[in-house]
Amino acid sequence: MKTIKTQVGIIGAGPAGLTLAHWLKKHGIEAVIIEHRSREYIQGRVRAGLLEQNTVDILKELGLADRLVKEGQEHHGVYLNFDGKRVRVPFGQLTGGRNITIYGQQEVVKDLTEAWLAKGGQLLFEAPALELEGIETDSPKIHFEHNGEKGIVECDFIAACDGFHGLGRKSMPKDAYKEYSVTYPFSWLGILAHVAPSSEELIYAYHERGFALHSLRSEKVSRLYIQVENDDHVDNWSDEQIWEELSVRLGTEGWKLNSGPIFEKSITPMRSYFIDNMQHGRLFLAGDAAHIVPPTGGKGLNLAVADVKHLVDGFRDFYEKASMQALDNYSTVALKRIWRAQDFSNFMTTLFHKQYEHGSFHYQLQKAKFDYIQLSEAYATTIAENYVGLPFESFEALD
Ligand code: DHB
């Protein structure tokens, strides 16, 4: 039986768990990460790639952004399409210079893992957490398995950064939280293709054949998505059909979509989920363990990193001032941004997906919103400031 003693035991080496470990170490707080999957798996897992200004600033501050700065692409605006008409929402002038950066989530995970191991940080791969013990006491434990051997992490706190299906949330008593869940009646078929991006900035499009999104990963790799049925399957779509659909849905006068070999295809369901309490005793949840947003707007990773900021504030208060106050306030503080992100992700999803008859009442509402972006700088600003992410100080003004 292997016993590891640390201050904060972290389950999950995704963006939340890794950022938390680095940030705690910066403040002299010890952490150990156990991760169910292999290193190859977590570094190869294709996810979104939109980093808000806050996220980039945090990674820079932690000294983890060298490759991100070199290879990531800062975007100063976004294109929005509706029925073939395209408008641009500029970020700089509407948000006082805040921006987004496109850099794949798995690249963030790669960089943070490498840096953590290089610092001598402890991280066990292929080490599933089996059970949490004593979360209502001052000395909780994570029981895990590694290389066929059982082990225990003995710690002061457990941070469950173990995703939607993880053990963290399942270990909270059912009556400790209320659950909110919405499933959308469509999914995304996402592709990665070896082809130069057809636009230097992202394009979100409503079309009567459904939503489409043009994103990118590098000068040679494009990332694109189309709305499909929930019961659809990648095998139903040939490469030619996907390119044809993207070209029609993203189309606007004078613009052409480049196509090329597709090397990754997958379907993602769309859901909004969250719980109204992310702490029980000495157990804290962060990231997808506590909330899922639909991907439109790219908020998932950014919310996870924002959770971590509030957790670090709390752990510092505990270890530096012996106060539990900030930790006990964690859910309340984190949920303000989570609600904001749920609203914005829902707004972007509703605005750009085909859900109602073309020409129907609800379609007209979608179109009226799109028209309003062009009519009102205030409305465009609302979109821009949510898209790049509100500064942390903004939420402090709320009770
Ligand atoms: C990406 C994904 C998103 O959901 C989004 O809103 C923007 C970009 C991406 O994978 O690049």
Please determine, for residue 399, whether its predicted confidence score (pLDDT) is greater than 80: no
Residue from 204, 206, 225, 330 carrying the catalytic annotation: 204
Q: Give the ligand 1 atom nearest the CA of 47.
A: 10
CB 59 within 8 A of CB 108: yes
144 has pLDDT over 80 = yes
Q: How confident is the prediction for the chain on average, in pLDDT?
A: 97
Distance CA(99)–CA(95), nearest Å, equals 8
Q: In angstroms, what is the span from residue 392 Cα to ligand 1's centroid?
A: 22
Q: Is 295 a catalytic residue?
A: yes
List, for residues 67-88, the tens digit of each pLDDT value.
999 999 999 999 999 999 999 9
pLDDT in tens, 230-253: 999 999 999 999 999 999 999 999
Per-residue pLDDT of 179-224, as tens digits, reads 999 999 999 999 999 999 999 999 999 999 999 999 999 999 999 9
- Number of residues assigned to the chain: 399
What is the dihedral sign for C-alpha 119, 125, 127, 131? positive
Helix (H) or strand (E) holding 351: helix 330-352
Q: Which atom number of ligand 1 is nearest to the Cα of residue 102? A: 11
CA of 144 to the centre of ligand 1 (A): 34
What confidence category does residue 1 fall into, taking pLDDT thresholds of 50, 70 and 90? confident
> Distance between CA 372 and CA 356 in Å, rounded?
20
pTM of the predicted model, to two decimals? Answer: 0.97
Query: What is the per-residue pLDDT for 76?
Result: 97
> Above 90 in pLDDT, residue 329?
yes
The string of pLDDT tens digits covering residues 17-41 is: 999 999 999 999 999 999 999 999 9
Give, using CA atoms, the residue closest to atom 7 of ligand 1.
298
Check if 299 is active-site: yes
pLDDT at position 47, please?
A: 86
Q: Would you tell me how many other CB atoms lie within 10 Å of the CB of residue 222?
A: 25
